[in-house]
Structure 1
Amino acid sequence: MLTAIAIDDEHMALEVIKSHAAKVPFLELEAVFSDAIRGFDYHKTQPVDLIFLDINMPDISGIDLAGMLQTETMVVFTTAYSAYAVKGFELNALDYLLKPFSLSRFLQACQKARDWKELQPAETNGHVFIKTSEGQIKVNFSDLLFCEATGNYVTLYLEGEKVITRMTFKELEKLLPSFFIRTHRSFLVNKNRIEKIEKHQVQIREHRIPISQSYSGFL
C-alpha cells in the first residue's frame, strides 16, 4: 500500500486528486493541503511514501519544497505549466502530471511509484517487531501468511501460531514490504505464500481468504 499526501493551493486541483485517489485501491491519500508549509510539517511528523506536489504556489514553490524533502520521499509534480518539467526531473521527481490530467494518467504515476517502492532495499530486512500484550515479538516476513483486521486489532497468522496486536491496517502496512497486498478491506496477504487464486478467494495453506471486488485487479 502506498501512502500519500497532496499539496496544491488550488482547491479544485485537490478535489481532482482526491477523486482519482479514491479509485486506486493500492493508494491511501492520507491528507491534502492548500498550504505548502502545513503539508511539509505534516510530512515531517507523519512521513508518507509519495507527495503529489504543485509547483506554482504563493508561499514556497514546489521546486523549493521538493528540495527540502527526505531523499526517499517520492514526488509527483502536478502543474499547469509544462515549462517546469525539466527542472522537476532535475530534482529526480518520479513523474510529472500536466493539468488537467486523466485518471489513467494519474494511475500510471501511482503504478510507477508502487513499482519503485517494491525495488527499495529497505524491504529486505526480513522481519519486524510487533507489540503485543506480552511484549515485542519478532515476526519474520517469510513466516507471515496473512493478517486479519477486526476493529483496532489485527491478527497476524504465522506458521503454526497467531499474534494479536492493537493496531490498524494503516499502521501495519507501513511496517510491511510491498509483497503484502490487500485482497479485502479486512485482509492483508503475503503474495509470495498464495497457493491458489480463485474468483472470490485465495488459498494459503488451509486458509481461504476472501477477495473483494475493489481489490480483485491487484493480485
Structure 2
Amino acid sequence: MTKLKCVAIDDEPLALSLVEEYISRFPNLQLARSFEDAISGAEYLKSNPVDLLFVDINMPDITGIDLVRSLASKPMIIFTTAYKNFAFEGFELEALDYLLKPIDISRFTKAAEKALEFYNYKNNAKPGAAEESFYVYSEYRMVKINIAEIVYLESMEDYVKIHLSGEPKPVLTLMSLKKALEKLPEDKFKRIHRSYIIATGKVKSIHNRKLKLADIELPIGESYAESVRGWAKNF
C-alpha cells in the first residue's frame, strides 16, 4: 500500500492539531513531523525529503509561500489558509490544493485522495504506456484531465481553455497550445487552426473550412486545411 510521508506546519496549535487528527485517519498518510514554527519546519524539510506538505500560508516568521519557495526539492504542497482570497503567488509553486480554515473533513478527504492519485500518476507511469489522463494547474490547484473527455482546446494568448464533454465550464491553464498537443495522443487529436486543437473522435462534420463538434462550429485555418483533408477522408 502506498504511504505518503507528510509534514504539517502551522503556527496555530488548534489548526495544526486538526490537520494531525485528519492525517491519522488515513492509512495512506503517515505524519513524519509537525511544526508550529515555520523556520524549524523549513530546516527539517531541507534535510528530510517528504512526499506531502500541509502548510499554512499566513505565519509570523515566514509565510508558507516563502517557505515552499525556499525548498530546493519540493514535495506535493497543500496550502491551508484562513482567507478566501488565496495568495496568487501560490500559482507559480503549483500547489496540489488549498484548504480553507476551519478545514472540513470531507474537503480534507478530497485533497488527500488527490495527493495519492497524483503521487501514483507521477511514480507508477509505465514507459511507453498510453496515457489516459494528465494534470494541469488551474484556479490554484492541480486538476486531472481525462483525455477521453476532451472535446477541443482553445488558445487564449498565454493560456489554454480545455473544453470537456459534460462540463459547462472549461478548464483554464497557463500553457501554450503546442505544449498541450505534446500531452495528447497524436492519432486522436489534431490542430486545425492556430487557436484550436480538436479530438477527431468528437467531429460531427467538416464542410467549407468549418468543422462541427457537438455544439460548436470551429474554423479551419488556411495553413491547416491540407492537413485536415488528409486525416478527414473518412468523414
**How does the TM-score come out when normalised to structure 1?**
0.53
* Greater C-alpha Rg: 2
Distance 1:85 1:96, change over 3 A: farther
Q: Relative to structure 2, which stretch is displaced further, 82-91 or 53-62?
A: 82-91
Instruction: Give the match for residue 57 of structure 1.
Output: 59
Instruction: Give the match for residue 152 of structure 1.
Output: none
Cα distance in structure 2, aligned partners of 1:114 and 1:96: 15
Distance 1:63 1:72, change over 3 A: closer
How far 1:13 sits from its partner (Å)?
Answer: 0.5
Contact 1:11 1:34 in 2 (8 A): yes
How far 1:96 sits from its partner (Å)?
Answer: 0.5
How far 1:106 sits from its partner (Å)?
Answer: 0.8
Runs of 4+ off more than 3 Å: 121-125
Instruction: Give the match for residue 88 of structure 1.
Output: 90
Runs of 5+ consecutive residues of structure 1 not aligned to the other structure: 126-219
2:100 to 86, 93, 98: 98
Contact 1:88 1:96 in 2 (8 A): no
Aligned pairs for 1:165-204 (under 5 A) are none
Cα distance in structure 1, aligned partners of 2:126 and 2:67: 30
Instruction: Give the match for residue 38 of structure 2.
Output: 36
Aligned pairs for 1:118-137 (under 5 A) are 118-121=120-123
Contact 1:85 1:96 in 2 (8 A): no
Contact 1:67 1:91 in 2 (8 A): yes
How far 1:40 sits from its partner (Å)?
Answer: 1.0
Contact 1:78 1:97 in 2 (8 A): yes
Instruction: Give the match for residue 117 of structure 2.
Output: 115
Q: Number of residues paired by the alignment?
A: 125
How far 1:89 sits from its partner (Å)?
Answer: 2.9
Contact 1:7 1:53 in 2 (8 A): yes
Contact 1:9 1:33 in 2 (8 A): yes
Contact 2:68 2:74 in 1 (8 A): no
Cα distance in structure 2, aligned partners of 1:44 and 1:124: 30
Instruction: Give the match for residue 201 of structure 1.
Output: none
Instruction: Give the match for residue 158 of structure 2.
Output: none
Percent identity reads: 48
Cα distance in structure 1, aligned partners of 2:96 and 2:23: 17
Cα distance in structure 2, aligned partners of 1:3 and 1:93: 17
Cα distance in structure 1, aligned partners of 2:48 and 2:106: 28
- Matched letter for residue 53 of structure 2: I
How well do the aligned residues superpose, as a CA RMSD in angstroms?
Answer: 1.9
- Larger relative contact order (CA 8 Å, sep ≥ 6): 1
- Matched letter for residue 95 of structure 1: D
How far 1:82 sits from its partner (Å)?
Answer: 1.7
- Matched letter for residue 49 of structure 1: D
- Matched letter for residue 100 of structure 1: P
Runs of 5+ consecutive residues of structure 2 not aligned to the other structure: 128-235
